[in-house]
Amino acid sequence: MEGIIFDIQRFSISDGPGIRTTVFLKGCSLKCIWCHNPESINSKKELQIVSHKCIGCGNCIAVCRNHGYEMIDEKKVYYKDRCQLCGECVSQCYSKSLQMSGKNMTVEEVMTEIRKDLTFYEDSNGGVTFSGGEPLLQSLFLKELLKKCQSEGIHTAVDTAGNVPFGSFMHIIDYTDLFLFDLKMMDREKHKKYTGAFNDLIHANLKKLVQLKKHVFIRIPVIPGINNSKEDMQKLIEFIKNLPIDLVELLPYHSLGGSKYESLAIPYELASLKTPTKEEMTEIGKWFKQANINVKVS
Amino acid sequence: MSKALSYQDRLDRIREIKMIQTKEKQRIYGTDGYWDMDDKGLIAPPESFTFTPESDQDDGEYYGAKMTGLNYRKLLESHPVYINPMSSLAGGWMYSFYDIKKPKWDSRIDYSFLHELQEKYDLVHGIGGIQHFNVDIQMGLTLGFDGLLEKINKYEKLHGEDKKEFYQAERDVVLGMLDMIRRHAAAAKVMAETETREDIKENLLKMASVNEKLLISAPETFHEACQWVAWFILFAVMYDFNGAGGSIDKYLRPFYERDIKEGILTEEEAVFHLACLLVVDNAYYEIGGTYEDGRDRTNKLTYLVIEAAHRIRIPTSICLRVHDNMDKGVLELAVKYLFEDDMGTPSFLGHDAVVEGFMKNGYPIELARQREKTGCHWCALPGREYTLNDIVKISFLAVYDVAFKEVINDSEHSPSVERIWDSFVKHLSIAVDTIAAGMDFHLKHMHKVFPELMLNLLCHGPIEKGLDISNGGVEYYNLCVDGAGLATVADSFAAIKQRVEIEKRISWEKLKEVINNDFEGAENIRLMLKNIKRFGNGDSIGDEFAKRISETFTQLVKEKPTPEGRNMIPGLFSWANTIPFGKKIGASANGRHAHMPISHGANPDPGFSDGDTPTAMAKAVASVQCGYGNTAPLQLEFDPKIGATEEGIKLIVSFIESLFHMGGTLLNINLISKEKILEAHKDPSLYPELVVRVTGFSAYFASLSEEFRQLVVNRIVEG
Ligand code: SF4
Ligand code: SF4
């Protein structure tokens, strides 16, 4: 069975306990404007062009059978519509100016990568985290991976935004040791505005998950001007405080993704946003503590 | 009257003074690489100080025990006094005896029969090599300087005329040492007379009495023991750069426990003395480990040494031995301070791997457990083993280059990777044999050139037998042979295999052409060769070749002893040689430009994968260990942010344990952000206090040469 993966990161230390490997599955059902991994949103492969790395060797133009590139006024132009994503140009671009975002991989291929760090998982009580995009969009593939991991004694975590039918969760629920469940904000309209979807389904799914006594860490990205107000946070606290979850993690927004958007030629709306300060984060953390919520500020 | 200074106040002053001295050294010797090695405690001497060694030769030089002993005594007798009134320990060094001596070899002792092959493979052959073995400081603490003198006199009587010169030379060295200690004791008293601060005055008087005591007996108190060690370290580093400081938490422990029991020492005071000792010179000390029977040897002093390094916050070279039965607390504290202090200290040794490895040479486990980590990347038995550690190197790249050219220029047979490999093995075997013959030659003649008069004193055998350690004085001879440039060569083989043989993207002719032209006008091909799955990814062709090279090298070193029957131990390490080894060799098939440095230690080349994760590096380096008790270290750069939380520290601790569970031998960690290192690289003089862990040692970044700074930067930025 194959899935589409856009990255596998070893020595991942902020996606669940211990030293982990995080497998990023491609495709997302939300479109958060602050997204760090824009290449994860589209569920298909995409060609990424990092122009400053190009050494002008001309290989790409020469190998493409679909006229994907043309020289216009001594500048190379890429025609997305003509491109069949065959990857030939990428394999001949030795400067790594061209990169394919997304790769079909079999369960066994992914497992080979995961197994590389077994010793580290054991010594650090770590394991593997499946993230995205939204990994549950590939729930059957995910299920196979999780099953395999569990049978090999590897701790499993799934990082989800929750915006999928609960049926998808049902596929994997028995094979997942820990859910990292992202919440953004309680306000329905605002949620729709910034992520492209209402949050009703997400909240319903979270409630069901905890009813089934699963271990859950809730993860909240703190984004200045979007959800960092006391009001927004209080609403989240109200919702969370009655749920039997293990931990809430507050993650400061980092402006990282801008240049990535550029290479994928999609507009990025938050280029000017600043990272919240440590003090701000600690202050927000206090609000959660006051409500007796086990909170961790990153 | 001013308030008495606390121990921490005094340490802060001492650090300030050290920084002034460091800046002074950077000014005198230039910021550009006055010291491409450990940040030694060297203090710039007063301009009035000069020293000219005496000669008994027509050419104005001196060789052998007699003149070396005389000259060293003369140096010690004229060496300026250095007392820092804030410190509890007297002494400082301003002169490098061996360094100034030239030539280093007596050309009448001819080894031109080895020259051709030594040059062909660019061998660092170790002939004329000095120190790089370990002394038994515990023995020195038991005997004291006067006891050493008695020992010399006693054994002299048991030997004939032929040993007179040797014993006289050893005696000269001890007399020189006693003179220098005497002058310091007197100077401390004089300084005390004019000192107005009561506490400092008291300190100087105490310093004087401690030193007077050491003139006539072995140390008894912790303070005396620290001063004794300080003197030994100073005399030995001045003599020939010795940096071996031994298991400090082992030999000082009885003094500490006794004084604490008698109520004449506090923990705080002990930490202070230890910190003062660390300032004297950046020697290689180890802590932790096990007793001979395998029980954990962690004790209170293990903690205090780490605490002392934390309090003084200067570059030190302390190594913590890590094993499964150890007191975890000390490991956690060490990692905590590593991140907090950003001094790159301590390093971590995989106790089990080096012990088990050393046993494979045919030694019992009890002996293997006594081998101490007292050098940049090496271990040795205290006072009982001669090793030539870290001074004998085979550059895999030089050997590979001979093989590559042999095959590619052979007009009769078509080239293949396997043919290059076979040729590589053939030449590597000759290189190992040449090294072995050279080491035998060294051991036959070195004592006539520059004997180890200083270190002999703390070894078991040389004084008893009247033989220099390089001349059969001790029990064990296990000679270190290191391979260098593993990643560079593994990736070169892999690049040819993948691009030329498997994918056929370029032809052999083209390969030959671009390599001959240093990729001129062929950047695309250079990148094609560079961007393969390199050593470090775990399951790549590069990894296969790295393992194959390490195994083959190990086999060649281990298949037979030297012609005269001495055991050799393989390891993988190069730091100082990475630049000169690279300079001699043109472009290589891994996309390395002509004359650029070779890879560092056993590390994969920076940029071997997307992100070069620490786990990938750890696995890679663990997978290429030679396995006979000498190390193939892992040099890692961590983001300083990881250690900011307790959780992060736990993660690093478990990471270290994992590395050693996989068979890793040694870990050096550097903590510095890309931004900071790039800033400092632009103008190092703006960052005179920035410390980087270069490899087995830490150093002030500004004191490294431009080329070495570039290497450190590459590692951090590309990695
Ligand atoms: S193959 Fe890569 S480097 Fe060459 S022209 Fe195309 S994008 Fe540039
Ligand atoms: S991926 Fe294939 S189709 Fe698309 S531009 Fe490259 S070579 Fe052409």
When CB atoms are compared, the residue of B530, B614, B662 closest to A11 is: B614
The answer to whether A268 and A262 have CB atoms below 8 angstroms apart is: yes
Give the span between the Cα atoms of B78 and B75, in whole angstroms.
Answer: 5
> For B642, which residue in chain A has the nearest alpha carbon?
A13
Shared domain check, A175 and A61: no
The answer to whether A106 and A82 have CB atoms below 8 angstroms apart is: no
Decide: A52 in ligand 1 pocket, CB within 6 A.
no
The answer to whether B634 and B621 have CB atoms below 8 angstroms apart is: yes
**Structure-token pair, residue B13:** 């002053």
> For B525, which residue in chain A has the nearest alpha carbon?
A94
Closest to B464 in 3D by CA, of B389, B388, B383: B383
Closest to B95 in 3D by CA, of B41, B36, B133, B38: B41
The answer to whether B64 and B166 have CB atoms below 8 angstroms apart is: no
User: SS3 of B138, please?
Assistant: helix
The answer to whether A138 and A4 have CB atoms below 8 angstroms apart is: yes
DSSP state of B592: B
The answer to whether B9 and B685 have CB atoms below 8 angstroms apart is: no
Decide: A59 in ligand 1 pocket, CB within 6 A.
yes
- How do residues A130-163 score in pLDDT, each as one tens digit? 998 899 999 999 999 999 999 999 999 999 999 9
Contacts of A19 in chain B (CB under 8 A): 615, 651, 654-655, 658
The per-residue b/e assignment along A32-51, b for 16 or more CB within 10 angstroms, e otherwise, is bebbebbbbbbbebbbbbbe
**Structure-token pair, residue A246:** 């293990």
Decide: A89 in ligand 2 pocket, CB within 6 A.
yes
When CB atoms are compared, the residue of B523, B616, B655 closest to A19 is: B655
What is the best residue among A88, A97, A98, A103 to mutate for testing ligand 2's pocket, by most ligand atoms within 8 Å of CB?
A88
Q: Is the pLDDT of residue A268 over 70?
A: no
Number of compact structural domains in chain B: 1
- Confidence at residue A75, expressed as pLDDT on a 0 to 100 scale: 87
In degrees rounded to 5, what are phi and psi of residue A21?
Answer: -110, 130
What number is the average pLDDT over the span B664-679? 86
The answer to whether B98 and B450 have CB atoms below 8 angstroms apart is: yes
Give the span between the Cα atoms of A7 and A13, in whole angstroms.
Answer: 16
The answer to whether B684 and B31 have CB atoms below 8 angstroms apart is: yes
In a domain, B191, yes or no: no
Q: For the residues of B294-336, what is the DSSP string, one character each?
A: S-B---HHHHHHHHHHHHH-S--EEEEEE-TTS-HHHHHHHHH
Q: Using the mean position of ligand 2's atoms as its centre, give its distance from the Cα of residue A91 in Å.
A: 10
B523/A116 Cβ within 8 A: no
Q: Using the mean position of ligand 2's atoms as its centre, give its distance from the Cα of residue A84 in Å.
A: 6
In a domain, B292, yes or no: yes
Shared domain check, A97 and A123: no
Shared domain check, A53 and A30: no
Q: What angle do CA B515, B519, B525 make, to 5 degrees?
A: 95
Shared domain check, A156 and A261: yes
Q: Is the pLDDT of residue B681 over 90?
A: no
The answer to whether B624 and B548 have CB atoms below 8 angstroms apart is: no
Q: Using the mean position of ligand 2's atoms as its centre, give its distance from the Cα of residue A63 in Å.
A: 8
Q: What residue's CA is closest to ligand 2, atom 6?
A: A89
- Confidence at residue B43, expressed as pLDDT on a 0 to 100 scale: 86
Shared domain check, A269 and A251: yes
Write down the residue that tokens 């669940």 correspond to.
Answer: A16
- Confidence at residue A256, expressed as pLDDT on a 0 to 100 scale: 59
Cis omega before residue A165 (within 30°)?
no
- How do residues A87-113 score in pLDDT, each as one tens digit? 999 999 999 999 999 999 999 999 999
| A237–chain B nearest CA distance, Å | 25
Q: Is the pLDDT of residue B385 over 70?
A: yes
Give B617-685 as a 3 state SS string.
HHHHHHCCCCCCCCCCCEEEEECHHHHHCHHHHHHHHHHHHHHHHCCCCEEEEEECCHHHHHHHHHCHH
DSSP state of B444: H
In a domain, B119, yes or no: no
- How do residues B387-404 score in pLDDT, each as one tens digit? 999 999 999 999 999 999
Answer with the one of A85, A101, A117 that is the final residue of a domain: A101
Residue B403 belongs to what H/E stretch? helix B396-408
- Confidence at residue A246, expressed as pLDDT on a 0 to 100 scale: 93
B651/A119 Cβ within 8 A: no
Neighbours of A77 (CB within 10 A): 10
Contacts of A13 in chain B (CB under 8 A): 642, 648, 651
Shared domain check, A293 and A225: yes
Neighbours of A229 (CB within 10 A): 13
Closest to B481 in 3D by CA, of B397, B387, B598: B387
- Confidence at residue B712, expressed as pLDDT on a 0 to 100 scale: 81
Q: Bridge partners of B296? A: B290
Question: B32 or B703: whose pLDDT is higher?
Answer: B703
Decide: A77 in ligand 1 pocket, CB within 6 A.
no
Q: Is the pLDDT of residue B306 over 50?
A: yes
Which residues, including other chains, have CB under 8 Å from residue B379's CB and lie 6 or more apart? B134, B349, B354, B358, B371, B372, B373, B629, B630, B631
Identify the CATH number of the domain in which residue A143 sits: 3.20.20.70
Shared domain check, A215 and A89: no
Tally of CA atoms within 13 A in the half-sphere of A53 that contains its CB? 13
Give the span between the Cα atoms of B419 and B495, in whole angstroms.
Answer: 15
Indicate the pLDDT class of residue B34, thresholds 50, 70 and 90: very low
**Structure-token pair, residue A103:** 């790769």
Q: Give alpha helix (H) positions in B79-219.
A: 97-100, 112-120, 137-158, 164-194, 198-216
Q: Is the pLDDT of residue B454 over 50?
A: yes
- How do residues A193-251 score in pLDDT, each as one tens digit? 999 999 999 999 999 999 999 999 999 999 988 899 999 999 999 999 989 999 999 99
Output the pTM of the full model: 0.93
Give the span between the Cα atoms of A191 and A183, in whole angstroms.
Answer: 10
Give B467-500 as a 3 state SS string.
CCHHHCCCCEEEEEEEEECHHHHHHHHHHHHHHH
Question: B2 or B585: whose pLDDT is higher?
Answer: B585
- How do residues B606-659 score in pLDDT, each as one tens digit? 888 877 899 999 999 999 999 999 999 999 888 888 888 899 999 999 999 999
In a domain, B450, yes or no: no
CA trace torsion B6, B10, B11, B12 (10° rounding):
100
Shared domain check, A74 and A145: no
Give the span between the Cα atoms of B222 and B244, in whole angstroms.
Answer: 20
Give the span between the Cα atoms of B78 and B69, in whole angstroms.
Answer: 14
Which amino acid belongs to residue A234?
Answer: Q
Residue A57 in contact with partner chain B when CB distance is under 8 A: yes
Give the span between the Cα atoms of A211 and B140, in whole angstroms.
Answer: 70
Give the span between the Cα atoms of A217 and A180, in whole angstroms.
Answer: 5
When CB atoms are compared, the residue of A13, A59, A116 closest to B651 is: A13
Shared domain check, A123 and A87: no
The least confident of A30-44, A194-208, B517-531 is A30-44
B654/A124 Cβ within 8 A: yes
- Confidence at residue B368, expressed as pLDDT on a 0 to 100 scale: 98
Identify the CATH number of the domain in which residue A94 sits: 3.30.70.20
- How do residues B53-72 score in pLDDT, each as one tens digit? 999 888 889 999 999 999 99
Shared domain check, A53 and A187: no
Which residues, including other chains, have CB under 8 Å from residue A13's CB and lie 6 or more apart? A19, A20, B642, B648, B651
Which range of residues forms the domain containing residue A231?
2-43+104-297
Nearest atom in ligand 1 to the alpha carbon of residue A61 is 6
The least confident of A214-228, A256-270, B131-145, B546-560 is A256-270
The answer to whether A26 and A4 have CB atoms below 8 angstroms apart is: yes
In a domain, B12, yes or no: yes
- Confidence at residue B609, expressed as pLDDT on a 0 to 100 scale: 85
In a domain, B461, yes or no: no
User: SS3 of B5, please?
Assistant: coil
Environment class of residue B430 by beta-carbon count within 10 Å: exposed (0-12), middle (13-18) or buried (19+)?
middle
Residue B662 in contact with partner chain A when CB distance is under 8 A: yes
Cis omega before residue B33 (within 30°)?
no
Write down the residue that tokens 């281990």 correspond to.
Answer: B558
> For A8, which residue in chain B has the nearest alpha carbon?
B610
> For B521, which residue in chain A has the nearest alpha carbon?
A57
A123/B651 Cβ within 8 A: no
Number of compact structural domains in chain A: 2
What number is the average pLDDT over the span B5-17? 94
Shared domain check, A195 and A72: no
In a domain, B581, yes or no: no
Neighbours of B58 (CB within 10 A): 6
In a domain, B380, yes or no: no
Which amino acid belongs to residue B214?
Answer: L
B616/A57 Cβ within 8 A: no
Residues 487-526 of B with CB under 8 A from A: 523-525
Which range of residues forms the domain containing residue B691?
1-38+244-363+640-719
What number is the average pLDDT over the span B315-332? 96
Shared domain check, A140 and A94: no
DSSP state of B124: B
Strands A69-72 and A75-78: antiparallel
**Structure-token pair, residue A221:** 């990205």
Angle at which helices B198-216 and B164-194 pack, to 10 degrees?
160
Decide: A149 in ligand 1 pocket, CB within 6 A.
no
What number is the average pLDDT over the span B486-508? 97
